[in-house]
Chains A and B, each alone.
Chain A
Amino acid sequence: MRKMNLAKCLTGIAVLLVAPLVLTAQQGESHIGKLTGNAGTGKQLYFRYCWGCHGFRGDGNGENWLPTGNYPNGPNLNIQPRNFVAATFKCRSTPTGTLPTDEDVYNSLGRGLTNSNMPSWITLTNQNRADLVAFIKTLSERWKTEKAGAEINVPAEPAPTVQSIQHGKELFTKLECWKCHGPEGRGDGPSASTLTDSNDQPIRPYNFAGGSRFKCGTTNHDLYKIFMTGLDGTPMPSFADVIKPEDAWDLVHYLRTLQVSRKSPELALWEGTKEGAEIVKAQKVRGTPTGSGVNQ
């Protein structure tokens, strides 16, 4: 009897000891492939690397964010750092209005966001980036009450053809992408100057002619996801309900031809046509180099 009691007692103690460990392990974790991020470690990393811009509470109000746009040292933070409390994320593989997957946030950390102050954190270890994702998820109640959205289906990409580029060009007009991005994709459409993000801060539409990176990646696959999921928190809407997947790839192929400063199979095909060659040539007009590297 005594022995039994002792055994029970020990089991009880063991359960008591282990239970909180299991609980804490379940809360504040992230899962990216084989990696499991730990929010505790992520918190320490956050307060080394991130808080200057994203703030102590993770609400994007770091010491360098002045909503007036009046920066003593230049417009280095002309896009407000992400507000992790609102948990609205630009770069997702999930539908508009849903939480991103852990991997989406992890990829954003590794990639950085071009034309903003968010650098690439590829120099941190993969484990550390996973830890940061786990901590970021503790900053908003949304992660407790909602699940990440279901990843959108991206069908296999058909090979680009002149026809697909031309069809993409029609879609660009029909869907009125040019209203913001401009007829040549230079980010200078009629509505461009009026755009504001969800914090009422001015924001510029992407200038395809200027760079080779997009906000959320560099590949055709990334580009597909950008307009099918929308960049939440910005004026860029989701086109998931209004573009059929095959049309979406045509649009991707056309958008690539707007990146005249970057070599791509789509651009080569387009320049091979009389119509395309003229458009691209006109697009490549240059002025005096500014040294900025981006023709904004």
Chain B
Amino acid sequence: MSHWDSTLLKRGMRNHAFSVLTAILVLTILLVDSRSAAALPIPGTSMRAIPAFARKYGMPCSSCHQAWPMLSPFGQAFKDNGYQLGNERDAPIYQNPAYWPVTFRMTTFWHRENENRAQVDDPTSTTGGQIEGNLTTHGFDWSGLDFHTGGTLAKNVSFYVLPSSDNTGAFHFETVFARLDNVAGTSWLNIKLGKFELDNLLSEKRILTLTNVSGVYTNYHFQPATENNGLNPAFPLFSFGIGDNQDGLEIMGHSKDDRTRYSASILSSNDGTPNLPTSRTYDGFFTVSQAFQVGSLGLQRVGAFDYIGQAPTYFQFTEGNNSGIPGNAAFGLPGTGIGNRRFYRAGLIGQFYIKKYDLTAMYFHSSDDKYLATGTPFNPAYGTLPTGAQNAIWNGALFESHYTPSPQFILIQRVELVRMSQQALPIVPGTPYTPGVSVPSLSFGNENVYTFGGRYYPFISSRAGFAFHGEYAFSHQIGTSPVTGQNLDFSSLLFGFDFAF
């Protein structure tokens, strides 16, 4: 997903929902202005589906993937074991010198996007007035290119490097790590250093859906609608998603059969961006899960995760440029962010198999500190908390089910729900959302996302992957339409070819 998302993140758009909104706004502007399409954001597919591994081991995609890019338990174990089968034949010394562990992945498609209340210029206004308009776009398109390289450097030393581009060809590093596997001869200790996806059992990098609305898990990126309101110029960007690849050190372990798994990570509080743009603090992420067999139904897994993070609310030093604004974050010296405030993302996950049906259910409980949630520096010199500000607290749920009648076909259905349980700003019913002052209701910013799709793989081989992809996704947000504060709906329809080689 990365190239799309991170491009937007760099531009300061933190919230996934707002990213979608922005994407469509930008699209509108470009279409209206007929300018260069260079900045057009398009959903990407930085996901792992690695024919390089299939080629190395001669196994079909379906061995490791229930339906690529989604892993099977065997594939998960292969990954947890450091991309090794464990038969003393994993080291590169056993490969033909000509073998190059590289896989490309790309998607070409037609898509249709609709937003029911987009912010548009009022054609009848002579004073630059704005109204909301129903906006639909459609046409042919393509994703960015993912350039997966990964494998082993030696027995029990693995690596993964993923340069990933947006669809203009601008690359960034989505994943960069090396890992010491089976340290001291035990599968219970593996050490990874670099930028990597968090040990999420439901991997966003292996998501089966591709549209603008459902190309990421909403719950993995949700930030309350009151955040990053841009009111205080001293407040640096606060952006976080457990779906984002993070920079850090991970220790993980698993039983030989991968039924029991744990991981503990220490991560830079920079949400995966390079060059320490704000923080010199660290976050922690912890997971544990256990799978068990239930007769002929399959493998059932339950687990829990907790991300404990902190983020700076202003810069200790700015670069001395006299901007006339105290502590202006635009000139903050990278890595000197202080006034750290806490946030957390915790949850439970269950993955249940009933033969060819499977269901993943997740529960999320999250909170952002009131300073983060209202965009206020934790320093009276730079700003004061809005009256009545509280920590933002919300709950989320995710239900994703699959029907996989054969390795060649999968039907996907997903429902995601986000419900605020405590708003950062006081609730003033009847008054539209006023940034930094009040919200109209407890439900302001709540979101529902529904997705339905299918993927058909006309062939399965150990050399390349190809899928026909069809998907429809719909999201519904409470009270976030840009002008009138009504409910905001997005829908996205996509048909295409997804291929890796």
Contact = CB atoms under 8 A, between A and B. Distances in A.
Interface of A: 38, 41, 44, 47-49, 51-53, 62-65, 71-77, 112-128, 210-211, 213, 290-294
B56 A291 contact: no
Nearest to B58: A64
A44 B405 CA distance: 9
B56 A123 contact: no
B93 A123 contact: no
Contacts of B386: none
B87 A119 contact: yes
Given A71-B96, A127-B293, A121 B74 contact: yes
A292 B63 contact: no
B298 A44 contact: no
A49 B56 contact: no
A126 B299 CA distance: 10
A290 B91 CA distance: 9
B56 to A, nearest CB: 6
Given A112-B87, A291-B157, A75 B296 contact: no
A118 B62 CA distance: 16
Given A73-B56, A76-B94, A292-B154, 15 more contacts: A48-B62, A52-B59, A64-B59, A72-B55, A73-B95, A74-B56, A77-B58, A116-B89, A117-B58, A123-B76, A123-B77, A291-B93, A291-B153, A291-B154, A292-B94
Contacts of B154: 290-293
B290 to A, nearest CB: 14
B407 interface: yes
B257 interface: yes
B426 interface: no
A120 B86 contact: yes
A76 B92 CA distance: 11
Contact of A114 (B56, B87, B461): B87
User: In terms of DSSP, what is the predominant structure of the interface of chain A?
Assistant: loop
A254 B499 CA distance: 54
A123 B462 contact: no
A127 B99 CA distance: 36
B383 interface: no
Contacts of A293: 88, 91, 154-156
Given A75-B94, A76-B89, A292 B58 contact: no
B406 interface: yes
A119 B86 contact: yes
B58 A48 contact: no
A64 B59 CA distance: 8
B184 interface: no
B87 A75 contact: no
A210 B78 CA distance: 23
Contacts of A290: 91, 93, 154
Nearest to A113: B87
Nearest to A127: B296
B37 interface: no
